[in-house]
Structure 1
Amino acid sequence: MAKYLLLKHYRGAPEPVNNVPMDQWSPDEITAHIDYMNAFADKLKTTGEFVDGQALAQEGAWVRYDGEGRPPVTDGPFAETKDLIAGWMVIDVDSYERAVELAGELSAAPGKDGKPIHEWLEVRPFYGTPPTITE
């Protein structure tokens, strides 16, 4: 088994096929999207492939070490930027191919008008975990 991070970008590049910003979705469309994500996680819990996942708020800050003991803090990232990390899921699967298969399924989450958003998800193995690509 190998752990992978499925990183969910909001309006990332390359752009999703059904790229209607979430602030233009109805409350029912947002609920349907969240329900899909929760059902997906529940399915992976039954197979033992789900480790953890969270949605992230739009608010945030940039912080870095300044060498003087008090790190500078800058507002951001902001939702109007081209790319915002919207959430993540950690999975523990038998192969890279399985991680890609699950990311593809997660990409089909519904958006505006109930249509799949076809968003791109970043699939990354955890550091120190060699990918198990079997081409």
Structure 2
Amino acid sequence: MTTSDYLLISRGQWDETASKEDVQDAIDRFYTWYERGVAEGVLKPGSRLENRGKQVSRNGITDGPFAEAKELVGGYWFIVAESLDDAARIAAQNPCLAYGLSLEIRPLEAAPARAQDVTNETPAAWR
């Protein structure tokens, strides 16, 4: 069985109509799920992200991050799975999904970047 690592990005905000008690219960169940997944080798450690940050570009360094609420990244973890579909099935067990968060799962690109390859960063005019 060949497995690969997949980046799991937690996005969004808690459903404001949910009670804080229900959300805390989901958080507690998340950590149980997460710790079991790490022990079983299907999850690798990641971290929650703080609210503060910096944005660095050719224009300099500014305070950030800048994102709409639905795009906010709350944290990241890694899933070890045989395929992207398997990684999605593992992520779908996350109890926090019931209260407004969503998860983005991305395969990690093993090859170094090359300007000739079509990637996320490739301008439309180059495609």
TM (norm. structure 2) is 0.69
Gaps of 5+ in 2: 112-127
Question: Given the alignment of the two structures, is residue 101 of structure 1 paired with residue 101 of structure 2, yes or no?
Answer: no
Residue type of the alignment partner of 2:105 = V
Q: Counterpart of 2:5? A: 3
More strand by share: 2
The equivalent of 2:71 in structure 1 is 83
Flag the 1:60–1:33 CA change in 2: closer, same or farther, 3 A: farther
| Structure 1: gaps (5+ residues) | 12-18, 67-71, 111-115, 130-135
How many residues are treated as equivalent by the alignment? 109
- Distance change in 2, residues 1:79/1:128 (3 Å): closer
Please name the residue that 1:128 is paired with. 110
State the Cα distance separating 1:51 from its structure 2 match: 1.4
> Which secondary structure state, in structure 1, belongs to the residue aligned with residue 62 of structure 2?
strand
Q: CA deviation at 1:99?
A: 0.3
- Whether the aligned pair in 2 keeps the contact of 1:52 and 1:91 (CA below 8 Å) is no
Q: How far apart, in 1, do the equivalents of 2:89 and 2:4 lie?
A: 14
Measured on the aligned residues, the alpha-carbon RMSD in Å equals 2.7
* Paired amino acid for 1:3: D
Indicate how the Cα distance of structure 1 residues 3 and 94 shifts in structure 2: closer, same or farther if over 3 A, else same. same
Residues 29, 64 of structure 1: alpha-carbon distance in 2 compared, 3 angstrom cutoff: same
Question: How much does 1:118 deviate?
Answer: 5.3
Q: TM-score, normalised by structure 1?
A: 0.65
**Displacement after TM superposition at 1:92 (Å):** 1.2
The amino acid that maps onto 2:110 is G
> Quick check: 1:58–1:78 contact (8 Å CA) kept in 2?
no
Q: Percent identity?
A: 26
* Alignment CA distance shift 1:60-1:76 (3 Å): same
